[in-house]
Structure 1
Amino acid sequence: MRLLNTNGHQDNDDIKEFAEWILKLGNGESATNDDGEKLIDVPHDLLITDPSEPLLQLIQFVYPDMVSHLTDPTFYQERAILAPTLESVEKVNQYILSCIEREEKEYLSCDYACKSDEDNDVEAAWLTPEFLHEVKCSRIPNHKLVLKKGVPVMLLRNLDQSSGLCNGTRLLIEDLCPNVIGVTVVTGTNSGKKVYIGRMSLIPQDSGLPFKFERRQFPLAICYAMTINKSQGQSLSHVGLYLPRPVFTHDQFYVAVSRVKSRKGLRILILDDEGEITTSTTNVAYREVFENI
């Protein structure tokens, strides 16, 4: 649907071929084992194959001439690098942040264990602030948040739905004050509006941890790159798919490649276990999901 509704001068045969390839991935037509997994060869024109700084090439494809667009919120509206895990996302974000020659500001959180968990099986003495600072989990900011002006960030909590400040909204850093951060809204109906974000007390839900803790921090995360799951529902003009490891859940690869509006807007960097470039990866699609539809 994204491909067919895109205005442009794309060749109809190319659109049809690309759309059919995406649909086959999503429908699991190529899956051959009981786990729904299949090693697939990715079309050559979609790949980053030059071994000379491949991650930098992927970044430059998605964010060309990024330095000159640091103050332009519209530049980030339809561009994103996607990766399957938070670890990979953080690696890309920190790499790009280190390339921006602007003064950085560091914000540290205040962490402590929730009192309701004093009687659980975890020794209270283990839950020191230093231990809690190292905890990282989805939908909650890290203990240390390093930001620079002109950096895009994503909101991790619903703050004001009527103003478009919802979980997943992308913002552009403008002011880095001690107690508030000034941002411009990048996506949604309030694009271009400037707002100020304060610290919040956040308790991660379903973190998989045997205890609960509270973190007081700005509900923001750098979003040059985001997880594939976080990109669901978005339509993008430029997508870079970074796969230092294969996808691991149903239709994760399909979700990533189907974000784009054209074949020319997609590039994929696939690495093997040794960190070398490869042209094939694993697609996961459970055919039984579609049996009763």
Structure 2
Amino acid sequence: MSNMNVAECRTYFSSDSVCPTEGTPDSVAALHTPEFLNGLKCSGVPNHSLALKIGSPVMLLRNIDHSAGLCNDMRLIISKLGDHVVEAKILFRSHAGTKVLIPRLSLTPSDPKLLFKFQWRQFPLMLSYAMTINKSQGQTLFTVGLLLKKPVFVHGQLYVALSRVSNPNGLKLLICNDNGEYVSSTSNVVYKEVFNNI
């Protein structure tokens, strides 16, 4: 999708370093080279290399300013690319259309698999041409394309996905069965037990 955008691309690289702690000797901290830290992938942390273009849709990965609408999972569209800040326009909710500046932030991932803490300095953004059903909750979209390679597995999840679109004409579904063939229906998980005491 990004290749279809003909705007000039600008790549931002993170600046990573091991956080000094009392339990970590300097010799151990020195083992974790910048190249090693750059290759780590952690949930909720942007990639080391972040390639952005004007017009690219992105998702905010951190709460920055709730009063300005800059909350985790907020979708924006890039309008300017600077050296130290990125300008973007908020796409949805009460602040839709507002232009905001996104600075680089210092993030410390809290991944329990890591035996040390490190600091990651990068723009808290990731490209967002698609999102999970859970991430879409609370948003209103004009066009929704829903890819269901597996049946929905949680009560109410199909409703959340289908109710994001403001007009039924903007809804497209692609449903596959276990063999990867296209089908015209899917199961909707409903707990009938909730109706027992009515």
- TM class, shorter-chain normalised? 0.7 to 0.9
Structure with greater helix share of residues: 1
Asked if the contact 1:118–1:124 (Cα under 8 Å) also holds between the matched residues in 2, the reply is no
The residue type equivalent to 1:254 in the other structure is: Y
**Structure-2 separation of matches of 1:248 and 1:117:** 45
Aligned partner of 1:107 in structure 2 is: 12
**Structure-2 separation of matches of 1:136 and 1:142:** 7
Asked if the contact 2:152–2:187 (Cα under 8 Å) also holds between the matched residues in 1, the reply is yes
Asked if the contact 1:107–1:145 (Cα under 8 Å) also holds between the matched residues in 2, the reply is yes
Aligned partner of 1:152 in structure 2 is: 57
Structure with greater strand share of residues: 2
Asked if the contact 1:155–1:220 (Cα under 8 Å) also holds between the matched residues in 2, the reply is yes
RMSD of Structure 2 on Structure 1 (CA): 3.3
Identify the structure with bigger relative contact order (alpha carbons < 8 Å, sequence gap 6+).
Answer: 1
What is the aligned length? 193
Aligned partner of 1:259 in structure 2 is: 164
1:130-279 correspondence runs (5 A): 130-205=35-110, 207-211=111-115, 212-271=117-176, 276-279=180-183
**Scaled by the length of structure 1, what TM-score is found?**
0.54
Q: Structure 2 vs 1, CA of residues 278 and 141 (structure 1 numbering), >3 Å: closer, same or farther?
A: same
Q: Structure 2 vs 1, CA of residues 288 and 135 (structure 1 numbering), >3 Å: closer, same or farther?
A: farther
- Cα deviation for residue 127 of structure 1 reads 4.7
- Cα deviation for residue 290 of structure 1 reads 8.1
- Cα deviation for residue 262 of structure 1 reads 3.8
**Scaled by the length of structure 2, what TM-score is found?**
0.76
- How big is each residue's C-alpha offset from its partner over 1:220-267, in whole Å with a ceiling of 9 and x where there is no partner? 122221222111122223211123455455543332123223433221
- Cα deviation for residue 291 of structure 1 reads 7.7
Asked if the contact 2:90–2:98 (Cα under 8 Å) also holds between the matched residues in 1, the reply is yes
Deviates more, 1:212-221 or 1:125-134: 125-134
Matched position secondary structure for 1:253: helix
Q: Structure 2 vs 1, CA of residues 126 and 177 (structure 1 numbering), >3 Å: closer, same or farther?
A: same
Q: Unaligned stretches of 5+ in structure 1? A: 1-95
- Cα deviation for residue 190 of structure 1 reads 3.2
- How big is each residue's C-alpha offset from its partner over 1:172-230, in whole Å with a ceiling of 9 and x where there is no partner? 2111122211222222333333222110011234x453444332110112222122211
1:72-83 correspondence runs (5 A): none
Q: Unaligned stretches of 5+ in structure 2? A: none
**Structure-2 separation of matches of 1:136 and 1:289:** 41
